[in-house]
Amino acid sequence: MELVVDWTGFAFPKPGEVRFKGEEYEEFKRQIFERDNWMCRNLNCKSRRNLTVHHKIKRSKRRLDIPENCITLCVNCHDLVEAGKLNVKTGGLGN
């Protein structure tokens, strides 16, 4: 990934790339949870406990803290996604 670097050496995200921190990220998560009705988006789960925000394109790759890149998952479903056992694009098990 190409970064734009200013003369001070700090890297800035490209236009459209955003990465929140601290309180801003907590507010962003709340907005995602609210949009998703405080429920895991896995169609086979629908849990309302232990929720987390899943980034379809990982934060470490593109810094895309934007609603279109994020869905609410419970921790268990998020672990399945990370293990490649849950496809969040279809909401079903497998790839």
Rounded distance between C-alpha atoms, residue 74 and residue 51, angstroms: 4
pLDDT in tens, 38-58: 999 998 898 999 999 998 877
- Confirm if 42 and 49 have CB atoms less than 8 A apart: no
Cβ pair 72, 29 in contact under 8 A? no
Sign of CA dihedral 65, 70, 73, 78: negative
Instruction: List the chain residues with pLDDT less than 70.
Output: 1-17, 60-63, 89-95
38 assigned to some structural domain: yes
pTM of full prediction above 0.95: no
Is 29 within the bounds of a domain?
A: yes
The number of distinct structural domains making up the chain is 1
In whole angstroms, how far apart are CA 54 and each of 23, 36, 88?
18, 12, 9
Q: Domain range holding 86?
A: 22-93
